[in-house]
Amino acid sequence: MSGIYHVDFFKSHGAGNDFIVIDETSKVQVPEPFKPAFVRLMSARRGGIGSDGTIFVSMHDDTHPRMQFFNPDGSEAEMCGNGLRCASRVAYEGHYAGRSPLVFVTKAGRFETFNFFSEEHQLSFVRIHVGRVETNPEKILANRSTTPFIAQTFQVDGISMVGTILGIGNPHMIITVNQLKEIEFNRLGPALEHHPMFANRANISFVEVLDSRRILVQTHERGAGLTLSCGTGMTTSVVAQVLNGNVTNDSDIEVHTAGGIVWVHPRVTGDTITAQLTGNATHVFRATAHVAVQGETVSFAPGPPMDKTAVYTRETETYDRFAQRSLFDTSLLIGTPLESLVQARGSV
């Protein structure tokens, strides 16, 4: 199979976690067999468009949109909270115009999203209702243990750490630390992601608790590495702090990251854990990428890799002012792959 494909997409972000979002509700823009290679090409920070992942929004049926999420390495993930907010905005302003709530179908199950405009922050926001957070680690641990892994000690690279494992459609390990500045993100992130205890790697979040209603979070995402934020990582980080007795249950918890601020409302009742994640879904620009497919090879077509068709300057500037309220010290990311991103956003 060969040919030139002109792929329309949005570059969007949720709390600085940026994505390429492709609307396929009316037609397939990237044939399924080529999606992993297409994602690797587009997501590359050098030589590509650059993103923390690529999202395909399509129709599951007339009333339910579908989200496919791919990590930058081309692997397909079950779920992405920041990505789902961006997908929800594209669907809400596109094929599913004006419908709120929307119930998205993902590999991790169904998630309800509510689109609204925040008058306080002058930004498009999306609230995601997470139906259930799992403490049973059977699908996450290589030994298939069903015993909850809550505030347990384990070893990594000769260091003793305490972690909590939770499932939210994808696997998470949350590690509470006294101060984030104590963590060697470049070394510990990859080591923990690939720790032999996990059946299929895991997302790793380091958490510093400020008080009973505010936490700082830095996440190393499976298949992506360090990111400015991670929606499911922030959600499970808050739930873990409830289980560990560090934040207030059934209340809005402010989560501060290098990418900005979101709110997570956990509800832990007996054996049932649910949560709501609320934050921005911000468009940066819209463009058409020009991609050549030759056999199994996917590359940019000759000429400019993309043509921008819209730039959301005011919206981006509004978000950047909002993000300055984050209490996260972005100087902690100097010397990591995120250094250029936080400097580009004027955060360092």
Q: Of the listed 39, 165, 175, 230, which one is catalytic?
A: 230
Cβ partners under 8 Å of residue 92, min gap 6: 98, 99, 100, 102, 115
For residues 42 and 228, give the distance between their C-alpha atoms in angstroms, rounded to a whole number: 19
Q: What is the DSSP string of 163-176?
A: EEEEESSSEEEEEE
**Amino acid, single-letter form, for residue 286:** R
Token pair for 297: 């090879």
Torsion of CA 309, 119, 257, 323, to 10 degrees: 70
The verdict on whether 86 is a catalytic residue reads no
Packed helices 231-243 and 81-93: angle between N→C axes, nearest 10 degrees: 130
Active-site residue, selected from the candidate residues 42, 80, 128, 174: 80
Least Cα distance to 277 among 187, 217, 199 occurs for 217
User: Is 80 a catalytic site residue?
Assistant: yes
Instruction: Name the residue among 344, 337, 343 with its Cα closest to residue 44.
Output: 337
**Under 8 Å between Cβ of 228 and 257:** yes
Q: Which residues contact 291 (CB under 8 A, 6 or more apart)?
A: 4, 5, 6, 7, 30, 38, 41, 298, 299, 300, 301
d(CA 260, CA 263): 11
Active-site positions? 80, 230
